[in-house]
Amino acid sequence: MNDALVLDARFHRLLVEIDQELASRIKELGCSHCDGKLHSAQYPRKPRGWQDGEVVSETRFSYCCDKCRRHTTPPSVRFLGRRVYSAAVRVITLRVGVE
């Protein structure tokens, strides 16, 4: 993987589009607990590992059920679970190594 690709804005737009597609599929399925309708409950994330001015914050797609109020957060190619570092930063770290 080319490090320049990981830092390219077009690459990040592609990742956002993939996340939007994953999120829309989850929303169409409805709540996995009670089959209620899911409403947007997006929240900002400020991933660590970027220099100032590169990536300030990103939105994590999430949903809240209108019946049971449980949250559903779809899988993401930009965020690795609850990790505070973005997926791109973690890939670079694994490739280059920690100094």
The domain segmentation of the chain, as residue ranges, is 3-96
56 contacts: CB under 8 Å, gap ≥ 6: 46
Q: What is the pTM of this model?
A: 0.69
Q: Which band of pLDDT confidence, cut at 50, 70 and 90, is reported for residue 56?
A: very low
- Token digits for 83? 């990790």
| Residue 98 DSSP symbol | -
Of 56, 57, 60, 67, the C-alpha closest to 40 is 60
Higher-scoring residue by pLDDT: 95, 65? 65
Report d(CA 79, CA 90) in Å as an integer: 10
Q: What is the pLDDT of residues 38-52, one digit of tens each?
A: 999 988 776 665 555
Q: Which band of pLDDT confidence, cut at 50, 70 and 90, is reported for residue 79?
A: confident
Examine the pLDDT at 98 and tell me if it is beyond 70.
no
Mean pLDDT of the 27-41 span: 95
Burial class (CB in 10 A: 0-12, 13-18, 19+), 46: exposed
